[in-house]
Structure 1
Amino acid sequence: MPASHQILSVAQMRTAEEALIASGSSVEALMDLAGRGAADWVWRVAAGHRVTVLCGPGNNGGDGYVLARAIRERGGDVIVVAAYEPQTPAARKARDAFSGEVLGRAAEVRGEVFVDCLFGSGLTRPLQTDDEALIARLAASHHHRIAVDVPSGVQSDTGMLLAGGLPSFELTVALGAWKFAHFLRSAAGIMGALQLVGVGIEPVAGAAQAIARPKLSAPAANAHKYTRGLLAIVAGRMPGAAVLAATAAQGAGAGYVRLYSEHDGHVPSDIVLSTEPPIEALEDGRIGAVLVGPGLGRDARARERIAVALAAEIPAVVDADALVLLSPRNLSERSAPVIATPHEGELAALEHAFDCEASGSKAERARRIAQASGMIIVSKGPDTVVAAPDGRLACAGVATSWLSTAGTGDVLAGAIASRLATGSAPFEAACEGLWLHSEASRLCSAPFTASDLAGAIPQAFATCL
């Protein structure tokens, strides 16, 4: 994993910075890299207009003084509002090196761009009322708002907001490495666009990763429908959801999608519909993966179809109703991998079924269930994380709110199952399907339906070739 894709906790970031310093760098040198890198992005947004930088007492405030000095050296119009006196040696040196105007927190300031460098990723206590009011006042008196590293009042490791009235930012410039708050709600919802400024952090063992564009390829010259991947979808009472998943699966790379349904209804002509009982059909050794859950229902017949799907030693994706009905007994004799794709309610059902504590961040909850169940967990929603039983963790970028429509989860399940059927390893298949799903939503004209989304999966796939 490239260092630019890793997501670090506060403790991991601190250790990585200490390693850089031990190898010959310094706090001041890292601060200079970070502040000047952030200044590049501020300069683009400001376009020569006035910039106001709010600096706090720690090294995040020091980054702000470096940023302001870099803007001033380019001939920009910049002032600093010092909410506190610098408290660290590096921050004091950065302030001393800034020769521009420094105002107190009571100053009435207006401008084009407000840059928040009050508190950084180490903040864990609630934001004080006067600090919250100061941020709100400066945000309201400027046309554009940029946060450096994370917005002040955000808990970096969990994405929690430590104040109730934080403004939204158009851009957040991460320093050194991504933090969990850049991907987890509620914090990610106020950060706007994200950019990363590197300072030389090396890859950290065990770090989480940001899901990036996958490298996909065209089929081999001698490929046929079976070698490209046969996906079996076990449908239930509402076959429409399974058809959505099947359509997405075709666009995500599978060469053959076979839908098993008791209902002989209309499906697209290029999806094979079979009424053969799954208990017999899943004996086909050419099947690369099975998907169960979309439109399944929750009756006794649904329980039977889950049991049949998971009894086959085939890589599986479990979604929707199947997640509510799933029990440890369904997995007790399996060796083939399983990917589960719960939304918040289904996540809670899995926590109950596998006796997991329902507390902490989404990432922590997903990791616990993955370890308890042995499944890859794709905990989906406005923020989405992928957790593996071995501790691996990946976070997707914040999804568009237009995905909040019926059927988009079925599309996601189909895309992930398709990647699994083509032979991608389970954790990678989950990340690939998530990326394709997100990119398809970006390509769709809003508002869009689940059918529109499924139809955009092939175009998303094409961007990876």
Structure 2
Amino acid sequence: MYVLTNEEMREADRYTIESGTSAIELMERAGLALADEAEQMAPTGAIVCVCGGGNNGGDGFVCARILRERRREVDVVFFAERATKECLFNKEKWERMDGEVVSFLPKNKKYALAVDCLVGTGLRGGLQGKNAETVERMNALKGQGVKILSADIPSGLCAGEKEPCAVRADVTLCIGEIKADAVYGDGLDFSGRVKRADIGILLPEREYAVLAEAKEMAGLLPLRKRNSHKGSYHRAAIVAGSIEYTGAAYLSAAACLRSGVGYTALFLPKGILSSYILKVPEVLLKSTNDGDRYAFNEETMQETLGYESIAYGMGMGVSKEVAKGAIYLLQRYTGRLVLDADGLNSLAAYEKERFDSLFKNKKCDVVLTPHLKEFSRLSGKSVEEIVQEGMFAAREFAARYRVNVVLKSAAVSVTDGRKTYLVTNGTSGQAKGGSGDVLSGVIAGLCANTSAFFGAVLGTYLSQSAAEIAVEESGEYSLTASDCIDCLGAAFLKLTRSRKFE
């Protein structure tokens, strides 16, 4: 499934209409899809359709009419002062079948379902006045056990709006394609289960973001053979750790071990090396330098160049020495390099003016794994700007510097500047220290056996999937990064089985 921005969806609508399908016909199909979903969610009981004056409202009037034709009890709320001609056309059809329109949500009537068609993707800024009051009323109904179905996107939800006044849907039925705002930023907290209704929207030829789904992810898994050995699955190096952050190196190396790579080496300062001897017996331990914090050593770093993939930066601390190591790899390494955490922060702190030359003249295929604040340091944009721009912020940066970017947020955007995947599985339990170290290790392990881009996409999906599996045991409050590592095997197994049997 594709994930479209508001502007991309408007272009697709125009393209479809210009290709011969009328706006009225598209509205009829959308309303039918909403009616079908409404009946699945509420097989019995009264339904209320809350309609605005835009095309979402028109979809709602079609939905109400079809439900009435199926002998369901339906009320319609409509109070817009202005409306599109398509919305008015379907409002009149509703009224011709003696359908009533009220201007407020009845307080004393019991409903099984509310269909939210109040405001769509055209919203700019937050809701106010009667629109806001109606949204609050719908959310109050949900608190009383009424299910909420939102058309396209929960009303009131728009990119970058802090603490939006928006409908909290049980199901959001995206018309045509998945809408970015429904799954990005706060979208996942408001949209409930996101589904897609295919109504025959045609897409102009271009690259669109893709929603990461199990079946496609399974096809990206590197193949394994019975007639193989550890060398068949290559080698990954983890360069990480300091006296302050000893756990980061362990988490990353342990995650890498469980990601299909044949051989994992952990490079860390000699002063903390002894504490790892029994922690990860399968990992080869090597020292980067004397002392308990990273200091650049060309001889040690030269040894890492023979590995198919390297993850660099986890728990190393921000310093010029860490920046030196990152620069050395960018200039000398020819494999797949994952730059995470303090690797990114050190470059941003000490070498930002050299980004153009460093990244554009690099010899390796680079994966950057920033969270929003780290990406703000790298890009020079505020966190608010990044959230507002959504997937475009990461895509623009990746294209400019010819790198792969894994922008960590509630929904993770993975892009090489052309192709973009949006990874929406996972859990709030991952919002804890160590989760990023796990991700970097999984990506490094996969990158030893596949391309940097697909390793980043697949590694992100599997890390999120492992968290979903782990949370069934521990719950979101108590989930730890170690729990996620323990469930990586189950995540890989689940994906492998879907490849075999679907």
Q: 1:278, 1:308 within 8 Å by CA — same for their partners in 2?
A: no
Aligned-residue offset at 1:404:
1.1
Q: 2:5, 2:181 within 8 Å by CA — same for their partners in 1?
A: no
The two structures, once aligned, show a CA RMSD in angstroms of 2.4
Q: 1:440, 1:456 within 8 Å by CA — same for their partners in 2?
A: yes
1:207 aligns with 2:208: yes
Taking the aligned partners of 1:14 and 1:41, their CA distance within structure 2 comes to 23
Aligned ranges for residues 12-51 of structure 1 at < 5 Å? Answer: 12-51=8-47
Matched residue SS, 1:119: coil
- Specify whether residues 12 and 280 from structure 1 end up closer, same or farther in structure 2 by C-alpha distance, changes over 3 A only: closer
Range that drifts further, 27-36 or 405-414:
27-36
1:68 to 64, 74, 83: 64
Q: 2:241, 2:247 within 8 Å by CA — same for their partners in 1?
A: no
Q: 1:7, 1:180 within 8 Å by CA — same for their partners in 2?
A: yes
Aligned ranges for residues 376-415 of structure 1 at < 5 Å? Answer: 376-389=404-417, 391-397=418-424, 399-415=426-442
1:245 aligns with 2:252: yes
Matched residue SS, 2:77: strand
Aligned-residue offset at 1:202:
3.7
Range that drifts further, 163-172 or 402-411:
163-172
TM-score by length of 1: 0.89
Aligned ranges for residues 136-147 of structure 1 at < 5 Å? Answer: 136-142=136-142, 143-147=146-150
- Specify whether residues 162 and 321 from structure 1 end up closer, same or farther in structure 2 by C-alpha distance, changes over 3 A only: closer
- Specify whether residues 283 and 16 from structure 1 end up closer, same or farther in structure 2 by C-alpha distance, changes over 3 A only: closer
Taking the aligned partners of 2:162 and 2:87, their CA distance within structure 1 comes to 24
1:115 aligns with 2:115: yes
Matched residue SS, 2:178: coil
Give 1:435's aligned residue: 461
Give 1:219's aligned residue: 224
Give the count of matched residue pairs: 451
Structure 1 residues not aligned, in runs of 5+ = none
1:290 to 273, 298, 310: 310
Aligned-residue offset at 1:229:
2.9
Q: 2:319, 2:346 within 8 Å by CA — same for their partners in 1?
A: no
Give 1:349's aligned residue: 377
Aligned ranges for residues 235-314 of structure 1 at < 5 Å? Answer: 235-237=240-242, 238-261=245-268, 262=270, 263-266=273-276, 267-275=279-287, 278-284=300-306, 287-310=307-330, 311-314=332-335
Q: 1:153, 1:161 within 8 Å by CA — same for their partners in 2?
A: no
Aligned-residue offset at 1:398:
6.0
Matched residue SS, 1:18: helix
Aligned-residue offset at 1:431:
1.2
Identity of aligned residues (%): 27
Aligned-residue offset at 1:332:
5.7
TM-score by length of 2: 0.83
Aligned-residue offset at 1:362:
3.4
Q: Deviations over 1:55-84 (max 9, x none)?
A: 111211111112122322333222111122
Aligned amino acid, residue 441 of structure 1: A
Q: 1:292, 1:309 within 8 Å by CA — same for their partners in 2?
A: no
Q: 2:359, 2:403 within 8 Å by CA — same for their partners in 1?
A: no
Which is richer in helix?
2
Aligned-residue offset at 1:249:
1.9
